[in-house]
């Protein structure tokens, strides 16, 4: 008996002429993400995608769990492949459904024919299979309104498929269909969630992290890598740039008024990030900022950070409460890592009274003692790159 994963792609159905291109990107992503699990093929036909193992060695359970995290998939199910022949469908269904029929009392059958040439109509298929299942599992009865389990039969182009209910997929759009952007990633709760949200809308991610050794420890850097590897289960591989930020922070501390430390630091981060993102074809920057959450995230403060870059800054959490953000971070399994207590470069030089209503003019004056271009150039030349998957 041959079992496959049958995939229904989500919003793809809405995308008109782009659809085929989107499906191709989704299939490429799927192949990459299932790599290493054994031999398999992925192909599309009739608005579905099929993952078909080529031999017994394929790790089916792991494949299912990976598929459940791939953006662009609305729903998926495991399904048994039958010949387009009623005898074969009946025989295989009994064997395939046996384990899942043991602990239930009621069921119904639903049939769908994409191939209208099949000799039986949908109601006839339901009646025949229902009858055989009742005979094979005498403890069961049919309940068409509220069954414990629904068995689906799909007659498609090349084969018939028998399956149980679909499982919910990760939704969103295939990563790569919206271009590439760079997430500014700290070790906190917010930025990994922001990364996940934008990957869900089809962006391929690069990441940029500012590290300030010895103020920040190697463990803080490792934490960022762990967070990114959790995001990568959804987004696919992520290129990470680790930017040395110690000298910049020291220069800010020596040469700028204390109440502007955080803002100037953020302006430096944005300038450097724009350059690094641009070097790898990035179309936008992403941050985990949420309006009013801290002093540097008031609207006037965000205006002063945005004003130093030309790339759009995407802030998917801007209108979200901390509670909602935490809920997502638990769901995507980044929360427990995010709350590990390793210091971030932002927490090292936190001013006692940060500016909440800065003007651009004040900001520019406050950073006038810095060699902005020189510091940026040096930081970029000393940036290290690694690859997270
Ligand atoms: P997070 O939980 O993501 O750390 P936060 O609420 O603590 O966010 P800030 O520390 O003010 O907020 O940082 C705001 C945003 O700036 C972060 O969401 C992140 O996108 C970026 N950021 C902060 N620190 C760093 C860093 N060390 N490296 C890269 N980006 C950073
Ligand atoms: Mg932070």
Q: Kindly list the structural domains of the chain, giving each domain's residue range(s) and its CATH number in brackets, ordered by start.
A: 3-170 (3.30.2130.30), 180-388 (3.40.50.620)
State in Å: Cα 186 to ligand 1 middle: 5
**Whether the predicted pLDDT of 336 surpasses 70:** yes
Separation between Cα atoms, residue 6 and residue 94, nearest integer Å: 19
185 lines ligand 1 (CB under 6 A): yes
97 lines ligand 1 (CB under 6 A): no
Token reading at 227? 């967070």
What average pLDDT does this structure show over 135-145? 95
Separation between Cα atoms, residue 263 and residue 354, nearest integer Å: 8
| E strand map for the chain | 2-9, 40-45, 48-53, 73-82, 106-113, 141-142, 149-155, 160-163, 167-171, 180-184, 204-211, 238-244, 285-286, 313-314, 384-388
Nearest residue (by CA) to ligand 1, atom 21, is 184
Taking a 5 Å cut-off on Cβ, the residues next to ion ligand 2 are 186, 188, 344
71 close to 32: Cβ distance less than 8 angstroms: no
In 45-76, which positions are buried (b, 16+ CB within 10 angstroms) versus exposed (e)?
Answer: eeebbbbbbeeeebebeebeebbeebbbbbeb
Residues of the chain above pLDDT 70, percent? 96
| Number of neighbours of residue 198 by Cβ within 10 angstroms | 23
Helices 246-255/372-381 angle, 10° precision: 160
Give the pLDDT band (50/70/90) at residue 209. very high
Separation between Cα atoms, residue 198 and residue 270, nearest integer Å: 18
Give the pLDDT band (50/70/90) at residue 346. low
Q: Minimum-distance ligand to the CA of 220? A: 1
Q: Minimum-distance ligand to the CA of 223? A: 1
Arithmetic mean of pLDDT over the chain:
93
Token reading at 268? 């430096």
70 close to 169: Cβ distance less than 8 angstroms: yes
Residue of 193, 288, 384 to test ligand 1 pocket, by largest number of atoms within 8 Å of CB: 288
State in Å: Cα 346 to ligand 2 middle: 6
Q: What is the pLDDT of residue 326?
A: 98
What average pLDDT does this structure show over 203-232? 95
> Which neighbouring-strand residues pair with 210?
243
């Amino acid at each position: 008996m041959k079992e496959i994963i049958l995939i229904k792609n989500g919003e793809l159905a809405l995308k008109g002429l782009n659809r085929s291109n989107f499906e191709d990107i989704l299939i490429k992503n799927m192949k990459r993400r299932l790599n290493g699990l054994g031999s398999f093929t992925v192909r599309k036909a009739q608005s579905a995608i099929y993952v078909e193992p080529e031999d017994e060695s394929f790790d089916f359970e792991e494949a299912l769990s990976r598929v459940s995290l791939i953006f662009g998939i609305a729903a998926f199910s495991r399904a048994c492949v039958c010949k387009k022949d009623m005898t074969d469908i009946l025989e295989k269904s009994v064997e395939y459904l046996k384990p899942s029929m043991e602990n239930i009392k009621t069921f119904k059958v639903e049939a769908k024919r994409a191939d209208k040439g099949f000799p039986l109509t949908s109601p006839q298929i339901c009646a025949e299979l229902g009858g055989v299942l009742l005979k094979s599992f005498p403890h069961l009865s049919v309940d068409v309104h509220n069954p414990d389990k629904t068995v689906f039969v799909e007659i498609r182009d090349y084969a018939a498929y028998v399956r149980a209910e679909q499982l919910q997929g990760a939704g969103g759009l295939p990563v790569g269909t919206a271009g590439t952007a760079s997430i500014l990633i700290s070790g906190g709760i917010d930025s990994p969630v922001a990364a996940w949200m934008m990957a869900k809308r089809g962006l391929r991610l690069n990441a940029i992290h500012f590290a300030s050794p010895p103020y920040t420890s190697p463990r803080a850097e490792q934490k960022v890598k762990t967070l990114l590897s959790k995001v990568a289960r959804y987004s696919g591989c992520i290129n990470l740039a680790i930017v040395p930020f110690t000298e910049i922070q020291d220069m800010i501390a020596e040469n700028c008024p204390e109440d502007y430390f955080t803002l100037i630091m953020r302006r430096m981060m944005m300038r450097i990030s724009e350059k690094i993102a641009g070097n790898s074809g990035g179309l936008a920057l992403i941050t985990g900022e949420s309006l009013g959450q801290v002093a540097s995230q008031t609207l006037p403060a965000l205006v002063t950070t945005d004003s130093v870059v030309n790339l759009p800054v995407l802030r998917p959490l801007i209108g979200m409460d901390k509670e909602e953000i935490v809920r997502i971070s638990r769901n995507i399994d980044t929360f427990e890592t995010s709350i590990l207590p390793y210091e971030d470069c932002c927490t090292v030089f936190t001013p006692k009274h940060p500016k909440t209503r800065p003007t651009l003019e004040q900001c520019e004056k406050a950073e006038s003692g810095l060699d902005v271009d020189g510091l940026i150039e040096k930081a970029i030349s000393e940036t290290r790159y690694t690859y997270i998957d």
